[in-house]
C-alpha cells in the first residue's frame, strides 16, 4: 500500500475482515525478502478468486499501523478475520508452506453448511444433516471436517460405509483417534453371534453388542464391563476396547462416560 493511495486501516482491514478474510503484507522498499514474498502473495490472492483479500502496507509509510499491530520485523503477514488477527508468519517462507498455512488458517468454504449440519444433529434431524454433508463432500471431497461428522452419523447405520469414509482420516493427527474408534465400533456392529468364540460370556458379550448397535450406550457399557470382570481376554480384549471406543465417541464430558469411567477403571 503506497502513501499516495488513500488508505484507512480501520475501514480497509478491520471492517472489511468482518465480510472477508484480509491478509495484510507488512513490507518495506529496502527489504529484499519482502520483494520475494509479495509476488507470491499476489499470485495466491488471484488464485483464491476472492475468497480472501490482500492488503499491502509499507511500514515506512505507516509506522503507526505497524506498531499497533506489533510488527517486530519484515516481512510479516497477518490474517484478520472478524476484526482480529487469527494467524501470522514472518519471513519469506516457501510458497508451498504459505499454501499450507492458508489452508489451516482460512475458514473453510463450506463451514456454514457443516455448522448447520451439526445443529441439525442436535435437533434430532440426522437425515437432513447427512444430506447436507454429502453435498459438501461432493463439492469438496477432501473436506475432513465434513467427512468426520458424516462418519459419526454413518457409524451405527452403515458401519461398512463409515469404515470406508474414515480410511482417509487415519493419517490426519486430529482425526486419528476418531478413525481408531470407528474401526473398533464398526467391527462390533458388523459381527454375528456365530462368529464369536464359544465361551460362557458369549451371550452377555453379544447382548452388549446389540445394545451398542441401538446406540444404548449406557446398557452397552454396563454389559461390556460385566464381561471384563468375568473374562477380560474374551474376543481379543474386545470389551475393554469397546468401552474405550465408546468413551471416545461420546467424549469425556458426556454424562454416560462420567458414569461408567470409574466402574470401568475398577473392573481390572
pLDDT at 60 (0 to 100): 95
pLDDT at 108 (0 to 100): 81
Q: Answer for the pair 38, 8: CB distance below 8 angstroms, yes or no.
A: no
Would you state the cell numbers that stand for residue 6, as one nine-digit string?
488513500
- The pLDDT tens digits along the chain (268 residues) read 444 456 899 999 999 999 999 999 999 999 999 999 999 999 999 999 888 999 999 999 999 999 999 999 999 999 999 999 999 999 999 999 999 999 889 988 888 899 999 999 999 999 999 999 999 999 998 899 999 999 999 999 999 999 999 999 999 999 999 999 999 999 999 999 999 999 999 999 999 999 999 999 999 999 999 999 999 999 999 999 999 999 999 999 999 999 999 999 988 7
Cα gap 60→26, rounded to integer Å: 10
- 31 noted as active-site residue: yes
Which of the following is catalytic: 34, 69, 189, 243? 34
Which of the following is catalytic: 31, 69, 189, 243? 31
Quick one: DSSP state of residue 197?
A: P
pLDDT at 5 (0 to 100): 55
Quick one: DSSP state of residue 134?
A: H
Phi, psi of 48 (to 5 degrees): -70, -15
Q: Answer for the pair 259, 220: CB distance below 8 angstroms, yes or no.
A: no
**CA angle (176 as vertex; 174, 177 as ends), nearest 5:** 95
Sorted by sequence, the CB contacts under 8 Å of residue 97 that are 6+ apart come out as none
Sorted by sequence, the CB contacts under 8 Å of residue 251 that are 6+ apart come out as 257
pLDDT at 1 (0 to 100): 47
Amino acid at each position: 500500500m503506497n502513501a499516495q493511495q488513500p488508505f484507512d486501516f480501520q475501514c480497509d482491514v478491520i471492517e472489511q475482515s468482518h465480510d472477508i478474510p484480509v491478509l495484510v503484507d507488512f513490507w518495506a522498499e529496502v527489504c529484499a525478502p519482502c520483494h520475494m514474498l509479495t509476488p507470491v502473495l499476489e499470485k495466491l490472492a488471484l488464485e483464491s478468486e476472492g475468497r480472501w483479500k490482500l492488503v499491502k502496507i509499507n511500514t515506512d509509510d505507516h509506522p503507526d499501523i505497524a506498531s499497533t499491530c506489533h510488527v517486530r520485523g519484515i516481512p510479516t503477514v497477518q490474517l484478520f478475520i472478524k476484526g482480529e488477527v487469527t494467524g501470522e508468519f514472518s519471513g519469506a517462507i516457501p510458497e508451498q508452506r504459505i499454501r499450507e498455512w492458508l489452508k489451516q488458517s482460512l475458514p473453510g468454504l463450506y463451514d456454514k453448511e457443516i455448522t448447520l449440519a451439526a445443529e441439525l444433529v442436535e435437533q434430532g434431524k440426522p437425515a437432513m444433516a447427512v444430506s447436507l454433508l454429502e453435498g459438501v463432500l461432493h463439492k469438496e471431497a477432501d473436506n475432513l471436517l465434513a467427512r468426520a461428522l458424516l462418519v459419526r452419523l454413518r457409524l451405527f447405520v452403515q458401519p461398512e460405509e463409515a469404515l470406508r469414509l474414515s480410511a482417509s482420516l487415519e493419517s490426519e493427527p486430529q482425526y486419528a483417534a476418531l478413525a481408531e474408534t470407528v474401526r473398533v465400533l464398526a467391527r462390533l456392529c458388523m459381527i454375528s453371534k456365530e462368529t464369536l468364540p464359544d465361551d460362557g460370556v458369549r451371550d452377555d458379550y453379544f447382548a452388549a453388542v446389540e445394545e451398542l448397535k441401538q446406540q444404548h450406550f449406557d446398557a452397552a457399557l454396563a454389559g461390556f464391563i460385566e464381561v471384563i470382570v468375568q473374562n477380560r481376554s474374551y474376543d481379543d480384549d474386545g470389551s475393554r476396547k469397546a468401552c474405550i471406543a465408546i468413551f471416545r465417541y461420546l467424549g469425556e464430558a458426556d454424562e454416560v462416560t462420567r458414569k461408567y469411567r470409574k466402574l470401568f477403571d475398577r473392573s481390572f
